[in-house]
Every structure is written in structure tokens, then in C-alpha cells.
Structure 1
Amino acid sequence: MSVATGAETLVPARLSLRDAARVAAVGIRARPTRAGLSALGIAIGVASIVAVLGLSSSSQAGLLAEIDKLGTNLLTVGTGQSFSGEDAQLPITAPAMIGRLDGVEQVAEVGEVGTAKVYRSPLIPEVNTNALRVQATSLNLLPVVATSVAQGAWLNEATQNEPVVVLGSVAAERLGISRVYEGQRIWLGGQWFYVAGILEPATLSSDIDASALIGFPAAQKYLNHTSLVAGESTHGPPTTIFVRTDTDQVGSVQDLLARTANPGSPNEVDVSQPSDTLTARAAAAGAFNSLFLGLGAVALVVGAVGVANIMVISVLERRSEIGLRRALGATTGQIRTQFLSEAVMLSLLGGLVGELAGVLATVVYAEAKDWTVVVPVQAWAGGIIAAILIGAVSGLLPAMRAARLSPTEALRTV
């Protein structure tokens, strides 16, 4: 306060940060229920923002870790379309030619037997195909596409020549087959095939999951999947070729695949990298975050209205306190700082509670999904900054209103 003694005038002491925090805390503790309800909106909004960003980042980290584990050096060569718009066909020599490229480590192939359908039994109506595919396969398919046998056994040199089938994970599920036992059969291509095994999901090749896989010799012998090479009948052409490359040479190999697979018509060959598709899927998943972040922003706005409301009411209820402090020498700036600090502290408390709730939700869900827990800096830092800004904005008008009250007008309510 200002006190004049002769020629000397005492300048009012500035309200320190510590004193402002203590005074604000007293105001909040005096009305705990109302303060808690007002801070609840802030807490919900901040928790939503932190949880959405945290879960999104954790999900993407989990998927990218899975991609890294499976390998980013897998390329696929598929059939495109001819100039006339018809489905093109890969040469039967394409896998062997690709295998001669520098940087190529492994090559596996599958060939779709388009005329063959697969059913649990011949009693199933023909239209109920379950969108399953019958594909002939080379014996080295599993390590190339980074999958394994879940039950039973994979094809071998003997069984690839016989009516023996291995089911992808989705194919087994749609056929209602959950285990493999001796003598188990399915109706494939109009005849019985014995089920040798069921595969684990193939993350990098979803087509394998929905396929019934048989050997190329069996496809030629039992399903007439054939080609003519130099006038002689041999097994049918591949429709997809899987290529594992040296990690440092993925780009150079990718540039040569189309011309190597089909030198006469490289434009009829599709070359892709499955890991790129999965990475794009991880990025696309973040696009849905905007909706949830919008809901979090709405909750923050509601919380801001609640804080502003309680501060306006607080000013009306505490006019006597304001008048007494003004009469004792408190300046308008100190009164304004007191109420502004109270609004910021109220929002900050709600923000901290929301931060903890959002992080806890991220940890619990990510652990349940076996994801790496990731809470990005912008999530928790943004939550705190948003809480402080909301407190400052929502408390500014009530603080200015309190500062404008004159001591005499305020003390009339005592």
C-alpha cells in the first residue's frame, strides 16, 4: 500500500508469484466442490487429447515395429493389365529370371487356380465360396513372406505332388476348421484334398491368409493348372512372385523387377512393397484422430465456460473481501492478479488430473495390445499449455471486473 510520510512515499509492494499462488489456493479451497466440478471439464478435455495422441502414437509404433520385424525388404511382382484391358500373365520363367538379379536373396511364387473353388464339403452350395482362393505355391513360400505353420505341417517334396492342402489363417476360419487331425479333408476343385496344416497370419501378404495352398505339381495333375513351354506341358504360370532382397538394394532391385519379370511387356507387371502399404495404413490411422481431438476441444471449451462461470460468481460473492483488501491498500493490479491466478490454478489442476488420466489410459490399452507405450511431447505439453491458456482467458474478464470494484461500493455488502 502507499503511505506518505513527509517527502517520502511508500510504493505498494508487488504481489509475488508465491503470494499469488497462496491467495489463489485459499480461494479454491474455500469452495472445493464447485471448484472440482469446474475443473472436471478441463480434465476431461485434456485427458481426451492426451489419450488420443498417446494411443495413436503407440498404435503406429507397434505397427512400425511389426513391419521392421517382418522386414521392409520384401517386394511383390504381380500381374497387371494388357493394353486391351485384359488380365496380363507373367511368364513361367519370371521367378528364375528374377532370382538372377544382384541383390535378390530369395524368390517364392504362387499361382492362382482361378477355376477351382474350395468348400468344407460337396454339400455346400456353389455360391458360398467365402471369397477364398486356391493357389499353387512353391515350397519356400513361408520364410519369404515371413509366416509359419500354426498347426500341422507345411508342404514338402512328397505332398506337393498329392491332393494335400495347407490353409491360410482366414481360410481355415471361414471353413470352420480350428485344428488339424489325420484324415481331415475339404472339397477343392471338385475333389477331396487332405488338410496338412493351418498357417499363422501373413501380415505382409493378406492374400495368403485367404487362400488354400497346394503344390504346383498337384495343381497341374489334379486341377489342370498348366502352361505350354517349348511345346511341352508344365505347371501353370505364377500370378504373384515374392522377392526378398538385400536391405541396401531394395530400390535398385525394385527398378529392375518389371523389365526382368516380363522383358517383352514390362508395363503389364505390377511391382509393390507391402511394407509401404502398412506404413501408409499407420499414417492413415492418424487421420481419424481429428474427430476425437475435436471432441476433446469441445470438452475444453465446456471446461472454460465452467471456470469463467465460477470466477464470475466468486467475484459477486467476495465483494466484501475485495473491498476490505482495497481499503487496506491492495491495488487494482493485485486484485486482478489474485483472481486471474485463481482461474489459472483451477484450470491447471484440472489439466494435471487430465494428463494423468490420459497417460494411464494410454498405458493400460497399449499394454493390453502389446504395443510400445508412446506419449508424444506435444500431447502432455499441449495439454498443460491448453489448460493454462484456458484458465487465463476464462479468468480474465472476472478478474478485470473484480479490479474495477471501488472499496466503498464493495464494502457496502459487508
Structure 2
Amino acid sequence: MNATPGGGRPTRLAPVDVLRLGLLGITTRRMRAVLSALGISIGIATLVVVVGIPASSHRDLMDQLSALGTNLLRAEPVPDQNPQVLLPGDADAMAKRIGPVLTASAVANTHTVVRRNDLVDRYDTSGLSVLASRPGLLETVNGRVRSGRPLDAGTAGLPTAVLGYVAAGRLGFDSVDPRQPPQVFIGERWFTVIGILDPLPLSPDLDRSVLVGWDAATAMLGFDGHPTVVYLRAREDALEDVRAVLPATLNPQLPGLVQVSRPSDALAAKRATENSFSALFLGLAAVALLVGGIGVANTMVISVLERRREIGLRRALGANRGQIRVQFLTESVLLSALGGTAGAALGLLATIGYASYQGWPPTVPVIAVLGGVAGALLVGVVAGVYPSIQAARQTPTKALNTP
């Protein structure tokens, strides 16, 4: 295996022989191998955990910010114009034709008064607006129904209403009983309340509104069919582009008379958070790998010092320096591979467990797991270079005479 008869050129080691030599130090010193692998596994587990737990928390934060409607835009005519600027009746459908737009809907002020009952002063508006609503409004503004149900195609033409969160409080309702639904007086007729909405932090005007179906507003409240506000959601990466073309889309003749809201501050916060977390991940990963690499290097240096007699005996039997280097380098890589695999699995389980306990969506970037194992192999190579060179420099005589 080591040399040809007669002192010829040494025989090259087959991959299987290299693996056996690398496993020799591990199998004969099992406790030391376990402790050495434990050092690198802790480092890699730390790498996975410090990336996975913040990633899970970050994912939860991004979900919360997205639920606010960070990709929401609203377009409306510029106020106080003479004559009044009117949006087309199908303005929301026109907005949907813009490529990056995901969904769009519209509301319109019916300029009618809502009252708790017909005995309340007809001029007491309570600061509330009655809005005609297109289907799909709640989906567009990320709204949720707190009690009851939303307006839909089946109720669009019926005298039914959905109350915003603030509107429900001012009218004295906190829930909807489907068996005995409450009623409100809108204009000169009764409307049945079928739902109450949760707060909409990025659309406070809807919190102070009473929503009725588009067809019902046209037939019962004298609504002219022109929307006053168009809401839309678009891909976050194209939000600025959509904002730039939206006025010309809704009013090609006079785009300057259509104003569009700027992206919310929540979107800027979301993007800043993504950048800061990326930098944090890289820093923590680098520290974890450095700690694990130092541990493996220390273990291999001590291993060379304690195995000088073994090195001397192998050299005396014909092993050359290259074979000695390969033996110790392979052992270092195997130790790191075992530790890296165990550490990645341990870190994965710890991250999933902690994230589930916190109620976060478990998120472990694949690159963290694969990168951890690959990093462990790289650390094994780097950490094993110096010890393997030191072992190869041992002469048979000096090594065998080591006390």
C-alpha cells in the first residue's frame, strides 16, 4: 500500500485507503473525536440558530407589515376643482390593466347621511361617510370582518351595509347577530347591518365609513356611478412605477388632476429591516464559523503532538510525507463534516422549536443549512492544513524517539 518492492516509487493511495486512514484516528480515539466534532457542531448549530431564529422573527414582522398594506396605493381626483374632476365609472377596472397591479377596487361618496334611527336629527352626520363599495374592496385594502360578513355580489343590490370600526362605535354597535341584525337609517330608508370591520391602520377613512353595495347606492341613494377613490395593491418592487403611470391610466386627458398617495412609511421600514437583517446574518455566520474553525485546528494540532510515534512508525514502514499530510487532512475534514452535519440538524430542530413556541412561521434559509455544512468542510480543510504539514515534517527517527 505504501511502497513498491525494492524501494521504487511509492504507491498512490486509493480513495478508500485515504478514507480508512482518516477514520483511523477517529475510531481509535472515539471520545476525543466526539468532543472534537461537538465543538464544530456547536459552531454550526449556532450558525443555523442565529440565522434561523432572526429569519423566523423577520418573516413574522414582514407578514405583519404586509398585512397593513405596505403595497397599497390610493388615487383620487384633485379636490376643489371647478368644474369638479370625475373619475370614469370603471376606473378600478382600468387600474387592473396595469401589469404589476395585483388587485384594485373603488369606493364613492354618496353624500348621504347615516343615522342610528329615523328619530336622530337628519343633519347629525356623526362625522361618518356613506360609501358605495365595489366588490373586492376588503381584499384590496387587506381588511377583515370582525363580526358578521362582508358585502359581496349577492348583497350588492340589496339594502345592506357594513360598518367601519369607528363608525360601528359611533352608531352604538359592537357585534352583529345574524338572527336579529341591527339596522341603520341611510338617507330616507333602512339598511340592514351585516358586518363590522376590524381597524384599517393605513385606511382610516374607511374606519369612519358605512359601506353599501355599488348597485344599491345607485338604485336607492341617487349615486351617479363615479368613484371618488380607487384603491389598488401592486408588487412592492414595482410600486413606484405603478404610481407614476396611474394618473394617466385613470384620466388620460388630464392626468395632472389625479393625485396618488405615496407608498406608506411601513414599506420603507420593511425595506430597511430587510437590509439590516441581511447584514446581521452575515456577521453572525462569520463569527460562528470562526469559533468552530479554531476548535478543530486546536484539536488537530494536539492530535499531531500526541501521535508522533504513530507518524514515525508509518514513515519507517514506507509512508511518504504526502500520505501523512493526506491522512491528517482527511481526518480533519471528516471531523468537521460529522460535526457540521450534526450541528446543522441540531440547529434546524432548535430553530423550528423556538419559532413554533413564539408563534412565528418557522423559517430556516436553505443556504444557512447547506452553507453550514459546506462551511464546516471548508473549516476542516483550513484547520487541517497546518497540523498535516507539521505531521509530514516529522522524520521517522525523531518521531520514534519522542518520549
CA distance in 2, matches of 1:262, 1:412: 94
- Give the aligned partner of residue 210 of structure 2: 214
TM-score w.r.t. length of structure 1: 0.61
Q: Out of 354, 357, 368, which is 2:343 matched to?
A: 354
Q: Note if 1:31 corresponds to 2:29.
A: yes
SS at 1:12's partner residue?
Answer: coil
Q: Out of 256, 260, 269, which is 1:270 matched to?
A: 260
- Give the aligned partner of residue 17 of structure 1: 15
Which residue identity is paired with 2:294?
A: V
Q: Note if 1:316 corresponds to 2:305.
A: yes
Is contact 1:323-1:409 (8 Å) kept?
Answer: yes
1:229-268 equivalent positions in 2, closer than 5 A: 240-243=229-232, 255-257=245-247, 260=250, 266=256
CA RMSD, aligned part only? 5.4
CA distance in 2, matches of 1:343, 1:100: 65
SS at 1:94's partner residue?
Answer: coil
Shift of 1:331: 1.0
Which residue identity is paired with 2:87?
A: A
Shift of 1:137: 3.2
TM-score w.r.t. length of structure 2: 0.62
Which residue identity is paired with 1:37?
A: L
CA distance in 1, matches of 2:273, 2:36: 36
- Give the aligned partner of residue 167 of structure 1: 165
- Give the aligned partner of residue 43 of structure 1: 41
Deviations 1:292-346 (A, max 9, x none): 3321221111111111111111111111111111111111111111111111111
- Give the aligned partner of residue 383 of structure 1: 372
Which residue identity is paired with 2:86?
A: T
Change (3 A) 1:399 1:372: closer
Q: Out of 288, 291, 301, which is 2:290 matched to?
A: 301
SS at 1:326's partner residue?
Answer: helix
Is contact 1:107-1:144 (8 Å) kept?
Answer: yes
Which residue identity is paired with 2:373?
A: I
Deviations 1:9-31 (A, max 9, x none): 43222222222222222212333
Shift of 1:54: 9.9
Change (3 A) 1:314 1:215: closer
SS at 2:74's partner residue?
Answer: strand
Is contact 1:79-1:90 (8 Å) kept?
Answer: no
CA distance in 2, matches of 1:209, 1:41: 58
CA distance in 2, matches of 1:329, 1:149: 82
Which residue identity is paired with 1:151?
A: S
Q: Out of 127, 138, 147, which is 2:132 matched to?
A: 138
Deviations 1:243-275 (A, max 9, x none): 589xxxx9899725357459657266116789x
SS at 2:203's partner residue?
Answer: helix
CA distance in 2, matches of 1:94, 1:43: 63
CA distance in 2, matches of 1:148, 1:355: 40
CA distance in 1, matches of 2:73, 2:53: 32
CA distance in 2, matches of 1:267, 1:287: 39
SS at 2:334's partner residue?
Answer: helix
Change (3 A) 1:372 1:306: closer
CA distance in 2, matches of 1:30, 1:88: 89
- Give the aligned partner of residue 191 of structure 1: none
- Give the aligned partner of residue 318 of structure 2: 329
Which residue identity is paired with 1:285?
A: E
- Give the aligned partner of residue 190 of structure 1: none
Change (3 A) 1:363 1:102: closer
Shift of 1:389: 1.4
- Give the aligned partner of residue 224 of structure 1: none
Structure 2 unmatched ranges of 5 or more: 98-102, 112-126, 184-191, 214-221
SS at 1:151's partner residue?
Answer: strand
Is contact 1:78-1:240 (8 Å) kept?
Answer: yes
Is contact 1:56-1:289 (8 Å) kept?
Answer: no
Is contact 2:95-2:232 (8 Å) kept?
Answer: no
Change (3 A) 1:341 1:180: same
Q: Which moved more, 1:135-144 or 1:257-266?
A: 257-266
- Give the aligned partner of residue 148 of structure 2: 152
Which residue identity is paired with 2:32?
A: R
Shift of 1:101: 4.2
CA distance in 2, matches of 1:48, 1:25: 26
Change (3 A) 1:253 1:18: same
